[in-house]
Structure formats: structure tokens, C-alpha cells
Structure 1
Amino acid sequence: MIDKSPLTRYVEELCASPKFSPQIVCHRLLPGSDARTAPLRQPLSEAIVDGLRRQGIERLYAHQVEAMNAFRAGHDLIVATPTASGKSLIYNLPVVQTCLAEPSAHALYLFPLKALAQDQARTLAQLSAAIIGDTTVHGTPRFVSIYDGDTTTAERARMRKQPPPVLVTNPDMLHLSLLPYHDSWSSFFKGLRIIVIDEVHVYRGLFGAHLAWVLRRLKRIAAHYGASPRFIMLSATIGNPGQLAEKLIGRQPAVIDRCGAPAEEKDMLFINPWDSAAHTASQLLETALKRGLRTIVYTKSRKMTELITVWTKPRLGALAARLTSYRAGFLPEDRRAIERQLADGTLLGVISTSALELGIDIGDLDLCILVGYPGSVMATWQRSGRVGRRGHRSAVIMIGGEDALDQYFMLHPDDFFNRPPEHAALDPLNSRITRQHLHCAAAEIPLEQDEPLLRCCHQIRRAVDELTEAGTLLRDGDGHRWHASRKRPQRQFDLRGGGVKLSIIHRHTGEIIGEIDAGRALHDAHPGAIYLHQTKTLLVVDLNLSGQEVLVEESKPTYYTRPTVTKETEILSRLASKSVCGIRANWGTLRVTEQVSGFRKIQQFTGKTIATMMLDLPPQTIETEGLWLDLPPACKQLLEDKQMHFMGAIHAVEHALIAMFPLLILCDRNDIGGISCPYHEQTGQSSIFIYDGYAGGAGLAAQAYELIEALLEQTERCVVDCPCETGCPSCVHSPRCGSGNRPIDKEAARFLLQAIKQDRFQLETDAVGDTAVYLPRPVVRQRATDAAGGRGRAALPAHFCVFDLETKRAATEVGGWHNADRMGMSVGVVYDSKLDGFATYLEDEVNDLIDHLASASVIVGFNILAFDYRVLAGISGRQLYDRPSLDLLKLIQEQLGYRLSLNRLAEQTLGRPKSADGLQALRWYKQGRIDEIVTYCREDVALTRDLLLFALDNGYLLFTNKAGSTVRLPLACDAALVALLSRT
């Protein structure tokens, strides 16, 4: 009988399990492969050959030989092969050989993480010791030294005075500490021969654009000292390694992307769980650890990392101490300790975010559990490569979550295995980043009018002119050189784009327990947010942006929180435009304003919203690049003729486009944002925007614009193939939607996408100008289906109240509208459906008014959430946000993207304008004319009630647009009511 390994038995029993077997949608045994070796064209020196033998290396793999042959021929290199394929030898051997042959030669190693730098420095030190023994090189006993934030002042001084043959650092230190002080490193830069950049696939988007400029500055300084170093770059397998490397270094490298390293068999299983992905992962992890399998679990978020740890540890007994979580936000010393314990076997399992994706040596692992699709084919194979690295069979289990990409591959597993790795997007000419680094370059060495950097493209020269006009760059007397206006501009920005870091502080102990980016803090660490950190559930007590602190305390809530976000977009310029299936696709620059306006408390396990809270946080505005789709009026007309929800359709399409975006372009869905507008004032029609979530852009939307046909086709397939009926996180729902995925209409989105795919619209361009003229093609219109139950007035509960109030003070008297809680109430009026009449309350009866409203099944108003409720709370200290509330103005703003006044709607819809306005009511209050305020307020309540009833009867309201035409505003008040009441 064959003695099967614990891993083999684990996989077999999983596949035979009555519980898990039906959930396995794919099981493949990936075959192993034998090593392919080859001889070098020019043999290595005897010392190097002997040193390799001492490390047990007799022959080199074919890709290692191909790379070294190309480097010896004078080429820069980009090597894109799988994890554990021996890439470190590709750069270490040429470096050792160069430094031994040339006494003054130096090499610079760049790694994105400190832990990776330390790991690879140890590898090089062992190799160099095996080759050269204790012999000093350059007069220094250390062949390799690390220069990072942990290096002491004395060690830094020693390295500057007598630089080692190999200096290991990271892009941040190169930017902040080496390039600005290049004169102190003159002997190092003069002898710089090789620059090694590992994990190149990390340098995409914003971070990649920064590194591309740091490398341009590095080459410029090396040239200043007479050096012309070559590059050796290493990457995980990506779709465009040569293109990415060329954008990084500014010249074309030789590409090595065929691997000759051996590979062992690997089981790969896809599980589409009945339970949540996180609970399923916890169960699989528990079983694996109890069988002694060394396991790594990758999650998509910090919160999920902590939740799985919390759920699993109590069931492990004595093994609990051998499981830990690992993620960004931990203090550096905690992360280093976890890495050591993984490598030496002290820990049996770890639950990590992508922080452990890179090539840090964490020992010999058996099993990798992916909680959700990692977001890219590249990342999936990269993480899978962390197991089975010592020549034995391993297994990878990918558990599908509710995310659209997860479910796409659960439904189409063959597509995953057949799909090539994604392309990495990089835009080194991001205008903001270009200006920042030109300022730094001028501070390091004045810019010359005819130097290669300024002659390479017109965008850089234009940026120089803009900086000169702004006074950031100062031209010298003869006009041929530019000097920086600041001595050390490098300190003004962060290469990783994280911005300001806030300390997370325990309220009672004062201990700093972690950190968070300021931008993330607005979403995840606002006052009232539930924040998870190292298995602890924390309630955010205060967010102090100016003091850079988040104050928290431990809590045990039965809910979690999700922010509510409002967005606005302005088109700054259109750089490209094309017709795609009868709609217009555009690419250009945008100004996007985003504000966290509140948050929802969502009950654990049920997912129901139990409360909605308002926040007063500052808006965040960025100028970025984006693409947008202009939908002709025929699109809207077609859906409305079929009684479909147009805003629900385009909102759903926006979500699905973002969800499918990473299938084509290497990014995280959080790197991009979206806004859907049923009418955008600049385009004059319906538009869907997808934009880079970084100031200046990151090249993502630009690449998506080029691939827009493929993106639309993939999006249509995702929506059509998802088996849900009304929309779910696997197709058109987004976990980060600022409006809580309302309104969403999956069926309308499917119909719209299929109509676009079938080219049912014809787009023509006015020959005179740039105006798009849209002509709908004739379509066969089907008879509208009958309304289902719960539509129209049937959606109203038996007891509802319509409410409005007038204030005692104007906004100018209390310091602005944000101080509505100080404005007081003069009169409040309620229409009560149960009484079919009105009730009036004066300022001393505010508690009776609140009691009356709280008795209703639903409260209806116009701007009650942002205004009236805040006024009442300021007077009484009581909140109504936890009551089901239908705010017509909020629905309208979500539909249109901008506000309409009550008078503008009532005049066209009901033929009854308002009898007065708020300023008149304030004058009446000061004159003591309360009866007139009551009459006016009652009329406003009646207008609001009648608008609601009209919308329920007809599905729309009327208003006059800027062109002077009376138009319909589709408004699904019945759907909003059903959604509100279903959560109570």
C-alpha cells in the first residue's frame, strides 16, 4: 500500500467529503516539469563555479543561461518567470563577477520591501562567501550592505565614505537619501555598473510612475559622474514585461520569459462555497493545521484577515499559538518577528493580505488557501508559488467570494487556466508626478536646456515651462539652465502615494497600535466606524486629521459599518474619442470630488442596515485621467419604453465595468473609481465614468480606453452569465458603493449591454464640430409587462408621514448650512396618512413632533436627511436617522447627479409653485406672523406628498431643463420604499 503524504490525503478527503465535494467546481492536477539546463557561451570563472558547487549547484537552468548570455552581450534585462525559478542567480552571478573583475565597480539593488531586501542580502552574502571567502573587495570586509530606514547614523557614514561593492536599498531611500546627497556618494555613483530591480510587477500605476522618474534621476546622476549602468529587472509572470520595463528605464531591454526550472505537481481546486468564503477558509485552515500542513491563507482585506484569525484560533487548542495574522498596518518589528517564525517553522499557519505575496523566504509550505480571487491571474500564480518550493507536491485552494471576478472564474474555470497574465499599466508622464520629479532633478543637478531628459518628449518640456511660470524652477541669466526653488523638494511627497499616515491610538492606554493612510481613514476610520486590528474589534471614537490621530476603544458590536459616499465629476479635457457599437467612448482628464457623508450600521450575518448615520467630513478632490461612455438618448428611451429603470441600468453597468476591469489590466478594483450620471451637464446626455483613483492618473483608464471593446464584451458576459435574478455582488453590486448599491437594475443593465453589443444605436459625428449627434436605429418594441405587486401606491405602508419644518435662524446667522443643528425650529408640519390630515407643532412642541414622526412606518420629506433631522437633533438631542426615511431630494440627486428645487419640480409636475420661500418664512418669524408660516409650511408638505403620489402613479416627475424643455425625471419611489421597509 502506498504511504500517501498528509497533503495528498487532505486533498482526497476534501474531494470525497459530502459537504465540500459538491462545492468544488474545478479540480486540476497541474503537472510537474523537469529542469531544462544549458551551457553558457562563455564559461564562468573557476572561483564562481567552485562557489556554486559548494552551494549544491552543478548546472544552470536554461532561462538563467539565456539571461546571462544577453547581459554579457550588453543588453539590459527583464526576466519574468514564476516564483522559485532561481531568478536571484541571474543578477547575483553577473554582479559578483563584475565586482571581482573591476576593483572600483559597484552594484545597486532595489527591493520594494525591507524584509525582501534583508532576505536577498542574506542570499547574496552566502553566495559571495562561497565564492570569495573572507577576501575583502574594495578594501571593505562586507561584500553587501543594506541601506534603509533601520541603518544607524554611524553605518550610513561608513557606507558613504567606503561604499560596499553591493548596496541594497529601496526606492524610497534612493529618492530621499542617496540622490539628493549624491556628492557624498560620488565614488559609488562613479563606479555604478549594474542596477538590479526586483519584483518589477509591483512598480505599476502611481508607484511605478514614481520609480520611472527616480530611475531617470539616477541615470542622470550616474552620467554626471561618468557612469552608464545597465539594468537587470526581475518580475512575476505578466503579460507585457518588456513594455513595462521599457517604461521604467526609458530603453528597451532583452526579455526572458521562458522558464527552465523544474516544477512539482500541484493540485488546484476552485470552491464556490455554500457558506461565506471566509467561514469556509476558516474550516479548511483548521483541518489543515490539525493535520500538520504548513498553510498560508491569503485574503483580500485587513478586516477579513483578522476575522478568519478570530474564528479559527479558538478551535485549534494547543495549536492556536502557531497561527497568526500578517498585514500592513502592523508595526515593523511585529512583521519581522512573524517572518522569522514562519521561516524557522515556529508558526504552522499564517493569514495574510498581499503583504506576503512577494518573494520573502517564509520556509517550506504545503497548502495555499486563496480567500477570493486575488484580482489578477498574475497575483494568483504568484501567491500559488509560495507553496511547494522545496521539490514536493503542494495544493492551492481558491474559494470564490461574492465579488464579480470571483464568480466569473467559478463559472468559467477554463478561462482562468487559458487566460494569459494581465498587462501592467504605467504612465511615467503623469503630469503631477513629472512636475514633482523635475523639481527634484533640478535640485540635484541643474537642468540643462539641451540635456537628453528635456529633449525626450514635449510633455516634459511643457512641464518645465509650467514650473518656470509657477516659480518652482528658476532660470539662470543666460536662460540655458534651471535651478530648483527649494533645496530638498524630495521630502515633499511620498513615492507610494499613501499620503499622510495617521496613528491609531488606544483611547484608554494611549498606546499607538497601528497606522492608516489619511485617505483610507475617511472611509474606514471615521467616527463611529468599526475597525478590526490584530483580532481586536475597535470602535473609532474620534478622527483628528490635523493631529494625524485616530482614537479607538475596544468594542463588541453586533454590526459592522460601511461608509456612504457622494461623488461629482467635471470633465477638464477630452484627449481622445471613438465610436464603439453606436455609443461614444472618450478619454481625458477629470476633476473628481468625493465626500464621505455618513455610514450605515449593518447587522452581522443578516446584512441588514440597522441604522444610517450622517458625518461632516471634508471632501477630497483630485484631478485625474478617466474614460467615459456617452449613451445616446435612444438608450434611455429604449429602456423607458420597456418600463426599465434607466439609472438602475447605468449604475449596474458602471459597477460591472469596474469589476471586470482587472481582467484586462493589472490593478486592484480599488485603484479605480466610477460615477454614473443619467444626465451630465457637460456631455448633455447620460454618461458613465471610470477613472484612475490617483491624482494625475496612473495609466489605467488610458489602457482601458484602448481595450474598451473587450471590456464591454467581458462586462456583458459577466452580467448575462450570473445566475442571480435581481443583481448581486457577483455581477452588478459593489462592496464599496457609496450609495449602498441603490438604485441597481440588473435586468435593465443586461438589456442595455446586449443592445450595445448588437450595435442597436447609430452614432454620427457632426462634420462642423465635435458635437456628437445620435440617431437611434429602429428597434422592435415589445409590449410592456404588467406591474408586479408592490408597485406604485401599493408600495406605501398604511401609516406614513410627510414632514417639513421652518427655522428661526438663517444659515448666515449660525455660520453656514453645516451648522443646521443651531438654526432652531419655528414651525413643523406633518401630514399623517392615518388621519388623512395635517398636524402642526410649534418650537416648544418639538418632542411631540418627533414622537409623532417616530410612530409612522415611513417618514417622507424633501431634504430631511441632510437638513430637517439635523435641526431637530440640535434642539432635542434625539435622532431620527434610524427610522425608515424617504428623502425625495436625495433620490433625485442620486438619479440626476445634481439637485432640483421643490419649486422647480412642483411647478412643472403639479402646476402649483411654492407660495413663498425660506427667507420669507424667516422674516415672518421675526415679525411674529406664525400663522402665515404654518400656512406656507403646510403647503410645502402638501406639495411633497403630491409629488410622491404622482411619482408612485407615473414613475417620474417633471422639470424644466437648462434648454427650456419640460422633461421627465424617472423616479422609482416604489422601489425605494420597498427597500426601506424590507430592512425594518
Structure 2
Amino acid sequence: MSEASVAELLAKVEATPWLAVDIAGRRFFPPQAPRFAVPERPWPAPVQRGLDLLGVRELYEHQVRAVDLIRAGSHVVVATPTASGKSLIYNLPVLEACHADRRTRALYLFPLKALAQDQRRALDSLAASIFPTPTSAIYDGDTTASQRLRIRKNPPNVLFTNPDMLHLGILPSHEKWSEFFANLKFVVVDEVHTYRGVMGSHMAWVFRRLIRLCRLYGANPTFVCSSATIANPEELASALTGLSMSAVLEGTAASPPKHMLLINGVDGAARKAIGLLQESMALGLRTIVYCKSRRMTELIALWAGERDGPEKDRICAYRAGFLPEERREIEARLSCGELLAVVSTSALELGIDIGGLDVCILVGYPGSIMASLQRSGRVGRGGREAATFLIGHEDALDQYFMHHPDEFFALKPEPAVINPDNPVIAGRHLQCAAAEASLYADDPLVGENPGLIAELVRDGQVLQSRDGLEFFSKVRQPHRGVALRGTGSTVVIMDMDSGERIGLVDGFRAVLETHPGAVYLHRGVTYVVVDLDLQTGMAKARRAKVSYYTRVRHEKSTEIVEVSASRPVFGAMVSLGRLKVTDQVTGYDRISTRGGRNLGTVPLDMEPLVFETRGVWIAIPESVRRSVEAEMAHFMGGIHALEHAAIGMMPLLVMTDRNDLGGISIPFHPQVGSAAVFIYDGLPGGCGLAEQAYAEYETLLERAMGVIRQCACENGCPACVHSPKCGSGNRPIAKGAALLVLEGVMTGAAPETYGEMPPAAGGHDAPRTPPAGLGNEAVGDARAQGAGLPEGFRFAVLDLETRRSAQEVGGWHRADLMGVSCVVVYDSASGDFRDYLQEDVPRLVGDLVEFDMVVGFNILKFDYAVLGGLSRFDFASLPTLDILGSIHETLGYRLSLDHLARETLGEAKSASGMQALAWWKQGRIADIIAYCRQDVAVTRDLFLYGLRHGHLIFRNKAEKTVRLPVDWRPKK
């Protein structure tokens, strides 16, 4: 396509009244000439031949600076613009090392499968001149079982994979990769800026697990990270890997001439985007359109394709949630030129080779300057003139830029934030690490997280060795319960009629996005969700032609669990800490697709979503509330509007999207003691966004004030204080009151004291004693403390033997028909054993009700079921501890009394249940009672051991002798 075509499109835009009138700003970026340099030492001849064959005569300065660092053994992060030759930076040193030593191995990690395929082709082209040629292979979800086996047995020099496969397929099976790990010299992490937020927090742990295993095999690989332009690439790469990084930040490659125009789409951004797309396609310009949501992606592709003409079949939607084969088909059609335009979410933001593009249309601000530059960088390759159009939505941040275009063009890329300390994420990866290779007390992962390890041991997720120095995972492979792109599992969206899988959604967000009645769009086809089952991870949907989309309604409340920091900001106090959020879905609105009219609200009855996260909140002084109400303004509407405006401005401070955040405004919060506005990370555990808001809260308030004050609306609109995701439908909202609140806060006197930490709400258990072996004092001698029981506490230990077997009565579910040969009860007050026969059951009932607790082994499901056939008394009403039930709840599987007695007490049972049944038929009651008494004594001793030590001992499936944590202390 000639350069005149882009110029023609720009001229047409300026000559089209409904586009030209809304041009808010424009910039021309002249072409940049390249700068070249020479490496410190020449490449080996075969490597140089590869460069010559590719037509690479010189390397850019930034490429040379980076490869010299890598060859010297430094860990490097390269953050330069799109199309600046970052792949050569890691390919050249890797191939050089492979040429020098055929045993060299490298791991290439890409966030998308398509990127791995592109990069493998590029590497193989460069490696073709080397003899013997270094081998490469892709190991991902599309690799067949036979191919995987061959790759593991004979690992290539360069292995291409993705985060999910590394986490789920390689690290858990590292023994099968021993040769690969022992010779691993390089780890290449491409598109490292994508590892931010929740996924970045997960990846920080994946990398720690990878490095730990490398060191177990004696390897110490060099990390090479490549990134888009962000504010903190060195900090991000270091936080992800835990390694010190050298950064190369200045791009010296050539760049083509580019135009960027800001067009205000406040009266219909989608309509303007469709018109601009159609004009671009009519000129034959290859165009990519980026949308902020899956729904808008589908709708624009659908509406733009409704126009008759030769271009109708040359446009397609592309987004996450498409099946892999669908995405690859679209990528291939784009690359070969069959498609002229694609409408995409951020899924095509990365460097997948889709051929040369001419025009980029951003429907709404992408949420960060980094993403804007990255997406704009997809066009103009090969030196061709290119154009990018940013069409402003009606929301606050977009409108802020439409009214401040100079500020948009002056903005610097934002920092990428992760939070490896998220306890939910860290705890799950510690379990994975323990499953890969048992952890020891002197392991850095244990030493850096003693409190979390102690909590995992208490909860039975990680098991301790008998001596307390080694830690094992409870299950063999906990990895599948860890979703890298969220904090929970994944829900599959299924077409009820065809049985086909049509999409995926993170389990945490499923309640909000795939509730019954939700409209789901997939490749232009409308589905309505019929059923959501979070237990099975399945949402069932059916095709339906509807003229509306859905927006969930929900009510939220928050409880302050812990305050980490507080400081005065202007005339108010701002705090940072841990919050417990309860999000109750109450229904959903049906919004007309054309026109946006609310067609009605449908109620829903669903379980609340309850999670802990990190948040920041401002306490609105009582004096501000009084002054606002004195003006006859709606105070609640004012703080609600302030909440929306502040969340809308958050992407100016940190690389995020408003959908990653939540907010709650409340006119009186009992823990704060006044009105408060909360902003919190929208996923469990938090991902560092709240910390950034806390540090820059003054700027956040100033931005919120600016966007509200400068908006021309009267009572509030999407351009200032309305939120597209408000659970109450933006009611109440009072723009004028928000200004009064902000003025009162920003002109008020600073608080004199920081105040005390708000009390956490009731119901939290007191901290339990941590397990031994973690640098904490072990549980004291239980005998000196009465086994940890309150003074005067009286417990019974019960066991019984039956007259008939399960086979004789028709199965275990008919335990009520088995009858009793004897019951033995130990009384802790007297130390006596009491014996009961079947006719004594009424007396047994009278005795049991006198105890503070009844202890047994499988007592709830078996002993009480047997006794229930002989008495109308509700035995389950007794305060009961079932040791077997407690073990099953922790481990997920059952252990026998005999096993626990041998491993914990060094004792063994004297007989078995089958032997006792035989004795009954022989009339040997005395032998049955003696055997039953021994079982009661063993059960009692296990109970007391658990009270004294906080654990029992058992041998797990891997034949390791480990501790089983228990907490049997009576609840107060």
C-alpha cells in the first residue's frame, strides 16, 4: 500500500464533517534514523553467516549494548519500542553458546502460543547456517503426547513454551527433564510487561520455583527479558525473577513516519470507529481495531460487516476466549492478506506476525500509555507511513484526554505493578514448590515466608516431617488448582445444544459475567447463559437472538481487617490495609444494544462473593459532611461520585484498567468512625494497585477534581462520575456534591493525629500456635497444661463393636441394623472404662449427655448410625469430635486407626472388626470388650497426643513420615 493511501485517509477524515468536528488533538511523529554499533567481539563465523543470509549487515546500538551484557553473564531486560529487533538480542548469544557447546540448553517463554511459533521460525532461519544445526521444539498444549515424550527424552537446544505449560507440565515433572535443567544456560522471557497484576504475581513465583529447580540440578541460567516501553522495566524484571537486572532502555532502530489523531466519540465511539474502519477498508488500507471489551469487539465486527460490498468477508473479530484453532486461522488469514481488517481486544497487542498494517483504531483509551504505544506500534512496519486514531469513549478518563490532548501526548509510560506477597498466590505456589521437591527449613522460600509456611502447615496444605525440618505438599500435584491468569479456577462456557466449548472465564469473575441470564457473544453469535455451576466449573449457554446485553447489579460491603499505614492527605486521613469485601449479586439489567435503554431488571438469588484484598480509603471528616448538607446537597451521592471519578483516574497513576479495581462509598463506616470512600484491588489478596494509589493519593484527588469540574454536564454523566460497572446503576450520584466534598477535603486543615487502628470486626479466631520447626516455640507440655483443655473439662472416648457385618445387613448404609455386641466409653474425669451391652443403650444415652465432648474414630458416620437403630435419641446432637472426619477434612482422604497408632504412638491394634464379629458368634463377649477397650485407649491417646503437639504422625503416599496438623482444642 502506498504512502499516499494513508494521506488520503487523513484528508478524508478532515473533510468528513461528523469526524472532523470531533478531532480533539493530533501529532505527527517524524521518522527516526537508525543508529548502529559493533559488538565487543565478533560473532563466530557460522552465526555471522546466519546474519548475512537474513540480510542483517549491522546491529542497532541497543542490540549491541544488550548482547555484550548477556555475553558477559549479566541478567538483562530490554525495553525498547515495537519492531526494534529484540529477538536478535537473545537469539544471537544463545546460538553462539550452542555452537560452542552442543549441550547448551535454553528455555524461551512466550505469553501466547502464536508468539512461540513465530519466534521459532525466526530462530530456525538464523540457526540454519550453523553445523550441526541447533535443535528447537515447541512444548505447549498443542504438542501431542508422543511428541512430548520424544522432547523429554531428547530435549532440544532451545525449548519454546508458555507460562501455563512451564507451571503445569514442566516444573511438576522436572525429573523427566533432568538433562535439560542440568545444562540450562539461558531463560528468555518475552513480553515481560504482560506479567503484571495478578498474572505477574503468579509468574514471580513460577520463576522462583524454576530458579530453585535449576539450582538443584547445578544450573545458574542467565535471564534475558524483553519488554514494551514501561516506566519500571528493571524493577519489574527484578521483582519477577528475584535477580539483579541490567536494563537497556533506549531504542535506536529506524521508525516510520506516524500520525496520531484523538477523536472525541462521546456521542458514539463505536459508530465513529465503524465509519472510520469502513473508510479505511474502502481505500484498501490494512486496519486493526482495538476494543476494550469482548462485547464491543464482537459488536463492531458484526456491525461493520453488515455493510454490503467486497470487503464484507474481509473483516473478523479476534479476542481471548476464542478456541486456539479459531485464533490461528484468523492469524493466518491476516498474515497472508486474506483479511483486510481485524477487530481485537488486547489479544493482538503483542508481537504476533500478522503482516504489515497501515491503520490502528483504538476504540477507547486502552488504559495505559504503554498499551497505546504497543498497539500503535503494530502499524507502519517496513518504513511505511501509518496512522493511529484514538476514539474517546464517554467515560471519565477518555474525556479527560479529549479535553487535555497535550497532556495525553506528554504522558510517560506507567509502572507495571505486581504483588508476589499476595498470600493467596504465594501460599498456592509454596504448595507447588513443596510438591516439586520437598522444602527444608533453611530453604530461602521457607526463610522468607515463615508465617505463611506456618499457616499452610496448620491448615494441612503443607505437611511437616516428624522432626519438623522438612515440608511436603499434601497432594502429589497441586498445580492444577492454581490458575495463573486469575486467583481461582476457570469456568468453561458450553453450548448446551451442540456440546461445544465456546469460551472460558476466570472462576472468580464467573458470578459477575456468566450468571444465569447473562448475554454472551461469540464470533457474532449471541448466547444466553442458562445455568452456572461453580462446583463443576461449567456455565451452560444457549443460542438466542436478543436485542440487548446484560449488566450485573450487586451490593457490596467492606470490613477493615488490618491497617498497614495511615497519613494525612490535605484535610483528611488516608489509610492502606487489608479489607474483607462481600459482593452480593442481586440481579441484572437488560440494556438495549441500540440506544442503551434499560429494558428492565431481573432479580437473581446467588451466593455472595466474599474475599480479602488490599485497599486504600479516605475518611471524610464530619465537618465536610455537615458543610455539604448545609448546601442542601446529596452527601451520599457526592461520595459515590467521588469514588467513581477516583477509580476512573487510577490508570493515570498505574498500569491498570478500572475493571481491575473495586470501590465502595459509605456515609458512615463504624470502623472508620465517619464517611469513607474505599478503592480496592478487585481480586483476592491484591496485586499492588492500592499501594500505588496510597502513595499518590494527592494526585488522585486532584485528577478527580479536574475531571468533575471541567465536564460540561449538569448532574453527572459517563464523562465524569458515572461508571459503566456500577452495581447500583449509578444511583445515587451527585456531581455538585462531589465537588463540595473534594473542596472541603482539599482546603481543610490537616488532621492533627493519625488516630488508632480501626478494630477488626468480630468473629476472627485468635492466632493459633504455629507448628514446631519454624523458629517459633513449640506447643508446651500438654500434661502440664491439662492437655490444653479448660479446667474441669470432661470428655468421653467411645467405640463399639457390632453383632452383624455390613454384608449381612445389605451394606454400610444399613448400619442401623447391625446391632451392638458391646460399647466401651472412657471417662476422662475418673480415668475409668465403662462397658455397655445392647440392652444398656438407654443408660449409655443418659451417661453421654453429661460429657463436654464425645471423641471417637468415624463416630459420626458409623458408631452413631449403629446406635441410631437402637434408640430414638439424636446422637449427632452431642458435642462430638470425630478424629477420622477431622483427618479427612484436612487430607482429603482417610487413614486407618491402626496406621495412625503405629506411626504416632508406636502401638498396634490387637485384633480387627472381623475378628470381633467371629467372637460374637462364638459367644466370647469378654474378648470383644477387651479388644474394644484397647481401641478406645488408642483413640484416647491419639486425641491427647494431638492436643499436646498440635499434630499426629502418618506415612504419606510417598512413604514419607510426616505430621498431620490438628486443632482439637474446644472452641470457647
TM-score category of the 2 structures, normalised to the smaller one: 0.7 to 0.9
Shift, 1:751, TM fit: 2.1
Shift, 1:532, TM fit: 2.0
Matched, 1:325 2:324: no
What TM-score do you get using the length of structure 2 for normalisation? 0.76
Secondary structure (helix, strand or coil) at the match of 1:5 reads helix
Separation in 1 of the partners of 2:509 and 2:440?
40
Shift, 1:210, TM fit: 0.9
Name the structure 2 match of 1:724: 713
Matched, 1:765 2:753: yes
Q: Give unpaired runs (5+ residues) of structure 1.
A: 138-142, 773-984
Separation in 2 of the partners of 1:274 and 1:623?
36
> What does residue range 35-50 of structure 1 map to in structure 2 within 5 Å?
35-50=34-49
Alpha-carbon contact 1:286-1:316 (below 8 Å) kept: no
Shift, 1:474, TM fit: 2.4
> What does residue range 520-539 of structure 1 map to in structure 2 within 5 Å?
520-539=509-528
Name the structure 2 match of 1:70: 69
Name the structure 2 match of 1:583: 572
What TM-score do you get using the length of structure 1 for normalisation? 0.75
Separation in 2 of the partners of 1:51 and 1:561?
55
Name the structure 2 match of 1:132: 130
Name the structure 2 match of 1:694: 683
Amino acid corresponding to residue 158 of structure 2 in structure 1? V
Alpha-carbon contact 1:75-1:254 (below 8 Å) kept: yes
Amino acid corresponding to residue 690 of structure 2 in structure 1? A
Separation in 1 of the partners of 2:399 and 2:724?
14
Matched, 1:673 2:671: no
Amino acid corresponding to residue 251 of structure 1 in structure 2? L
Change (3 A) 1:766 1:152: closer
Name the structure 1 match of 2:461: 472
Q: Give unpaired runs (5+ residues) of structure 2.
A: 760-972
Name the structure 2 match of 1:158: 150
Alpha-carbon contact 1:765-1:771 (below 8 Å) kept: no
Shift, 1:708, TM fit: 1.4
Secondary structure (helix, strand or coil) at the match of 2:211 reads helix
Name the structure 2 match of 1:220: 212
Change (3 A) 1:627 1:515: same
Task: Please give the per-residue CA displacement for 1:696-732, whole angstroms capped at 9, x wherever unaligned.
Answer: 1111111221121221222212212222221111111
Secondary structure (helix, strand or coil) at the match of 1:690 reads strand
Alpha-carbon contact 1:558-1:603 (below 8 Å) kept: yes
Secondary structure (helix, strand or coil) at the match of 1:132 reads coil
Amino acid corresponding to residue 451 of structure 1 in structure 2? D
Alpha-carbon contact 2:19-2:272 (below 8 Å) kept: no
Shift, 1:770, TM fit: 5.0
Change (3 A) 1:436 1:329: same
Shift, 1:674, TM fit: 0.5
Q: Mean Cα displacement is larger for which, 507-516 or 310-319? A: 507-516
Shift, 1:331, TM fit: 1.3
Separation in 1 of the partners of 2:25 and 2:113?
37
Task: Please give the per-residue CA displacement for 1:199-236, whole angstroms capped at 9, x wherever unaligned.
Answer: 11111111111111111111111111111111000000
Name the structure 1 match of 2:600: 611
Shift, 1:286, TM fit: 0.8
> What does residue range 590-669 of structure 1 map to in structure 2 within 5 Å?
590-669=579-658
Alpha-carbon contact 2:563-2:758 (below 8 Å) kept: no
Name the structure 2 match of 1:281: 273
Amino acid corresponding to residue 179 of structure 1 in structure 2? L
Shift, 1:181, TM fit: 1.2
Matched, 1:15 2:7: no
Separation in 1 of the partners of 2:289 and 2:170?
37
Shift, 1:547, TM fit: 4.4
Shift, 1:315, TM fit: 1.2
Change (3 A) 1:377 1:274: closer
Shift, 1:288, TM fit: 0.8
Secondary structure (helix, strand or coil) at the match of 2:715 reads coil
> What does residue range 74-473 of structure 1 map to in structure 2 within 5 Å?
74-129=73-128, 131-132=129-130, 135-137=132-134, 143-273=135-265, 275-455=267-447, 457=448, 460-473=449-462
Matched, 1:570 2:570: no
Name the structure 2 match of 1:850: none
Alpha-carbon contact 1:293-1:366 (below 8 Å) kept: yes
Change (3 A) 1:472 1:500: closer
Separation in 2 of the partners of 1:483 and 1:513?
38
Amino acid corresponding to residue 591 of structure 2 in structure 1? I
Separation in 1 of the partners of 2:543 and 2:165?
36
Separation in 2 of the partners of 1:18 and 1:477?
79
Count residues in correspondence: 759
Secondary structure (helix, strand or coil) at the match of 1:441 reads helix
Name the structure 1 match of 2:819: none
Amino acid corresponding to residue 188 of structure 2 in structure 1? V
Shift, 1:498, TM fit: 6.2
Separation in 2 of the partners of 1:442 and 1:546?
26
Separation in 1 of the partners of 2:114 and 2:693?
34
Shift, 1:560, TM fit: 2.8
Q: Mean Cα displacement is larger for which, 525-534 or 360-369? A: 525-534
Separation in 2 of the partners of 1:463 and 1:590?
18
Separation in 1 of the partners of 2:589 and 2:466?
60
Q: Mean Cα displacement is larger for which, 445-454 or 211-220? A: 445-454
Separation in 2 of the partners of 1:478 and 1:240?
44
Shift, 1:295, TM fit: 0.4
Separation in 1 of the partners of 2:709 and 2:266?
22
Alpha-carbon contact 2:666-2:677 (below 8 Å) kept: yes
Separation in 2 of the partners of 1:486 and 1:520?
27
Shift, 1:453, TM fit: 3.2
Secondary structure (helix, strand or coil) at the match of 1:342 reads helix
Secondary structure (helix, strand or coil) at the match of 1:78 reads strand
Change (3 A) 1:771 1:497: closer
Change (3 A) 1:172 1:557: closer
Separation in 2 of the partners of 1:738 and 1:509?
33
Shift, 1:629, TM fit: 0.8
Separation in 2 of the partners of 1:357 and 1:766?
45
Alpha-carbon contact 1:296-1:365 (below 8 Å) kept: yes
Secondary structure (helix, strand or coil) at the match of 2:42 reads coil
Task: Please give the per-residue CA displacement for 1:36-56, whole angstroms capped at 9, x wherever unaligned.
Answer: 111111222222122101101
Separation in 2 of the partners of 1:766 and 1:415?
35
Alpha-carbon contact 1:634-1:761 (below 8 Å) kept: no
Change (3 A) 1:19 1:611: closer
Task: Please give the per-residue CA displacement for 1:885-912, whole angstroms capped at 9, x wherever unaligned.
Answer: xxxxxxxxxxxxxxxxxxxxxxxxxxxx
Task: Please give the per-residue CA displacement for 1:720-749, whole angstroms capped at 9, x wherever unaligned.
Answer: 222222111111100000000000011111
Alpha-carbon contact 1:674-1:691 (below 8 Å) kept: yes
Amino acid corresponding to residue 749 of structure 1 in structure 2? A
Change (3 A) 1:766 1:102: closer
Matched, 1:753 2:753: no
Secondary structure (helix, strand or coil) at the match of 2:156 reads coil
Alpha-carbon contact 1:504-1:516 (below 8 Å) kept: yes
Shift, 1:250, TM fit: 0.7
Secondary structure (helix, strand or coil) at the match of 1:214 reads helix
Name the structure 1 match of 2:481: 492
Amino acid corresponding to residue 78 of structure 1 in structure 2? V
Name the structure 2 match of 1:924: none
Change (3 A) 1:602 1:452: closer
